[in-house]
Amino acid sequence: MFFRKKVDCRSKEAMTTFLLTHNRYQVDNRAIGSGTSYANKIKLHNLGLRGSQLEKAFDIYAADDDFWPQISGPIRAFEHETDAAYSVARMGRSGGYLVLARAQYEYPGYKSTCSKCGKLNFQEAGPEAKCGVCHSPRVNLKKPLRWIRTTGSSIDHAMAAEDFMDLSMEDLKLKVDLVLRFDEVCDSVRERFLCLLDNYMVVEKTIMVPTKVRHLEPVL
């Protein structure tokens, strides 16, 4: 493991030290709250990459394709595992930090969708319902649509050693288990990125993009 560390969960002192010395990230965002939370730095120079591996990593970062969906699967699994109580947010100017964040399910209220273009609608679809965009038939959703929204990133912000030591052994271990699981998720994301380095290469291509133009032609 790269991020995950061994912790003696039989000792309050060891667990407290682990939580107090874990990397944290300062967040100041109106949408998700202010404070700090547990974090791991995933900037390329902090992933244990060397030589040609590091050069290739910079090439992948500079590519036009978004590689993040290919390596963020462990985060989706973590959200499912915690029933969306927690997520892992990618933060920083260049997305160089993974931060443990509070989350929750959000139900936007959509009831139907276009069978062709996927446009969502808040109204149920009747027999003759048409999409307002492409005019294809609308169909009702089989189950309510939901997604996960990050509600806040401040976790154990400003807690001191005595605050952790005052917790019961069980409650303290729950905190440690959560942070250890977060570290495992970060390890899994890193491992997927390393796999990406081994199995993909950046290839430069010239793509012809059709463009509609208006020009003059003589009247016959």
Contacts of residue 181, defined as CB under 8 A and 6 or more positions apart, other chains included, come to 78, 81
The DSSP code sequence of 51-64 is HHHHHHHHHHHHSS
* Least confidently predicted of 24-33, 77-86, 193-202: 24-33
Every domain of the chain and the residues it spans: 12-105+152-199, 108-145
Question: Which of 206, 207, 192 shows the shortest CA–CA distance to 60?
Answer: 192
The 10s digit of each residue's pLDDT in 67-80 is 999 999 999 999 99
Helix and strand numbers (H, E) in the chain are 6, 8
Considering the chain, what is the average pLDDT of its residues? 93
pLDDT at residue 30 above 80? no
pLDDT at residue 34 above 90? no
Prediction pTM value: 0.84
pLDDT at 220 (0 to 100): 81
pLDDT at residue 7 above 60? yes
The 10s digit of each residue's pLDDT in 153-194 is 689 999 999 999 999 999 999 999 999 999 999 999 999 999
pLDDT at residue 43 above 70? yes
Confidence of residue 126 (pLDDT cuts 50, 70, 90): very high
How many Å apart are CA 96 and CA 190, to the nearest integer? 12
pLDDT at residue 195 above 90? yes
pLDDT at 31 (0 to 100): 55
Arithmetic mean of pLDDT, 88-107: 93
